[in-house]
A and B are shown apart, each in its own frame.
Chain A
């Protein structure tokens, strides 16, 4: 059972080492002549005049928070869908109720304007 996951573990290591080997190859084969201008931050021909750790719109946070809620819903739905045959009508109704509560929340955030990007 668990040994069928061994190829996955090895594949993850192989995937990461493909990346490392390619980067390494790039460093070995390519020239390396840094200078001040080349290494400065790209800014459309300007001198970079400000730190790039800038303020950004709070709506990105909002999206992240909403995402967590919905993603959790999905992780609840995954195991439920797999055992659908065993839980019968009761399971179906229970999840319908759960989803209706989610939809009420979704309508609320919609009406509150959390999904607006003007």
Chain B
């Protein structure tokens, strides 16, 4: 594939050739990602529908499969209203910032040992930076709309996101102490050798904290006070319509997929198979389920995404003071204690995880 591309573009100067090949790789990553986002919205409506004993969308196309396409087309033809008193430049900058950072974070996500766009050794740091910049999208959107609902929501959302980012950061430190590398590929390779080698086992509290913080970071239910439709209508995007609104939507879902992907890379062994090293499986005709493949990574991420939707169908919305209490008084103490525990485990070289 790549060789063909190289020979096709060989008449170009070398620097241009490199850039074109990078652009093609980005397209190969982005198109499935955006399709995944579209069908995640469909899956959400369908799954929540079944959980509430409804059918969910089933009219557009066979079994409603074309529903996300129809939604996208509808939103594209809706007028983008810019309120009179809004700051026009910032009003339009906010969605661009949201989607830009949500997509750019994918640059360092590995899909298997070779399949990674930018194999840099500061991958995790870059992702943390990108998701932090994403908060600005929310704050700017809320402020620039010049609407009270949007303003209140932006304040709530930014305080909530930064609070949970601390717990998330501490959880990442735990992963780093186990792997001693910021490169996501190396973190996965450090977990190879069967299901007992995954960081899920020694870092289980951190996994729980990381995932729940991820739900809070993406402003998903039950932490969606930023959008709480019963109090502040739609939150920071109350003034947005048409395509500008759908960009926020896309960014939120792309971030959901990113969080699930990262959780499976860092705690669930990424593309490694849970049946690795079991001889009965390796010698049978089912050997393929014992080998590492991208399918395992996608399956793990899909399971975590199901949890996102499941939470939304199951839990009532938290009150704001409860959210802040959970973030500051529960998660941060848990993560700090567990970092000390990891330090001790590292000192005593416990298990297959902390041998150095």
**A8 contacts which of B79, B104, B180, B356 (Cβ < 8 Å)?**
B104
Q: Cβ of B244 < 8 Å from any Cβ of A? A: yes
Say if the beta carbon of B332 comes within 8 Å of chain A: yes
- Which chain A residue has the least Cβ–Cβ distance from B347? A92
A108 on interface, CB distance cutoff 8 Å: no
Which residues of A (1-53) have their CB < 8 Å from a CB of B?
4-8, 10-12, 14-16, 18-20, 22-23, 25-27, 29-34, 36, 38-44, 48, 50-53
- Taking a contact as CB atoms under 8 Å apart, the answer to whether A115 and B325 are in contact is yes
B351 CB to nearest A CB, Å: 16
Add 16 more A-B contacts to A26-B76, A30-B76, A77-B339 (CB < 8 A): A4-B119, A7-B25, A8-B120, A12-B107, A19-B100, A30-B243, A31-B79, A38-B81, A40-B83, A41-B145, A52-B147, A52-B148, A67-B165, A77-B173, A78-B176, A96-B340
A45 to B125, CA, bound (A): 45
Interface 1/0s, chain A 55-87, versus B by CB < 8 A?
A: 011001001100100110010011001111100
A64 to B70, CA, bound (A): 41
Within 8 Å by CB of B120, from A5, A25, A56, A57, lies A5
* Smallest beta-carbon distance A34→chain B, Å: 7
In the complex, what distance in Å separates the CA atom of A69 from the CA atom of B5? 49
Summed over the interface, the residue pairs from A and B with CB atoms below 8 Å come to a total of 214
- Measuring CB to CB, which residues of chain B are less than 8 angstroms from any residue of chain A? 18-19, 22-23, 25-26, 30, 75-85, 92, 95-104, 106-108, 117-120, 125-126, 145-152, 155, 158-159, 162-163, 165-166, 169-170, 172-173, 176-177, 180-182, 233, 238-239, 242-244, 246-247, 320-321, 324-325, 328-329, 332-333, 336, 339-340, 343, 346-347, 356
A21: min CB distance to chain B, Å: 10
Q: What CA separation (Å) do A49 and B152 show in the bound complex?
A: 17
Q: What are 7 A-B pairs at a CB distance below 8 A?
A: A14-B104, A15-B103, A19-B96, A33-B79, A63-B162, A78-B125, A82-B176
* Option from B92, B147, B155, B163 in Cβ contact (under 8 Å) with A41: B147
Cβ–Cβ contact B104 & A4, under 8 A: no
- What CA separation (Å) do A74 and B343 show in the bound complex? 15
State whether A42 and B149 are in contact (beta carbons under 8 Å apart), knowing that A12-B104, A81-B176 are contacts in the complex. Answer: yes
Q: Is the interface of A mostly helix, strand, loop or mixed?
A: helix
Q: Taking CB as reference atom, which chain B residue is nearest A100?
A: B340
Residues of A within 8 A of B243 (CB): 22-23, 25-27, 30
Residues of A within 8 A of B339 (CB): 77, 99
The residue from A30, A48, A103 contacting B78, defined by CB atoms under 8 A apart: A30
Verify A26–B103 contact, CB threshold 8 A. no
Looking at the assembled complex, report how far the CB atom of A56 sits from the nearest CB atom of chain B, in whole angstroms: 6
Partner of B81, one of A34, A63, A95, A96: A34
A29 to B244, CA, bound (A): 13
Alpha-carbon distance between A22 and B98 when the two chains are bound, in angstroms: 13
Is A19 a contact partner of B95 (Cβ separation < 8 A)?
yes
Which of B77, B169, B343 makes the CB contact (< 8 A) with A92? B343
Q: Are B244 and A41 in contact (CB under 8 A)?
A: no
Across the interface, name the chain B residue whose C-beta is closest to A69: B166
A7-B107, A99-B339 are known contacts. Are A30 and B100 too (CB-CB below 8 A)?
Answer: no
Most-contacted residue by chain A among B100, B242, B339 (CB, 10 A) = B100
A19, B76: Cβ atoms closer than 8 Å: no
A30 to B274, CA, bound (A): 49
CA gap between A73 and B146 in the complex, in Å:
35
Q: Which residues of B contact A12 (CB under 8 A)?
A: 100, 104, 107
The answer for the CA separation of A26 and B172 in the assembled complex, in Å, is 38
Determine the chain B residues whose CB is within 8 A of the CB of A32 once the complex forms. 79
Q: A85 and B356: CB pair below 8 A?
A: yes
B96:A20 contact, CB within 8 angstroms: yes
Nearest first, the 9 A-B pairs at minimum CB distance are A26-B243, A117-B321, A19-B96, A81-B176, A15-B103, A74-B169, A16-B100, A11-B107, A15-B100
Contact A67 B162 (CB under 8 A): yes
Contact of B148 among A11, A43, A60 (CB under 8 A): A43
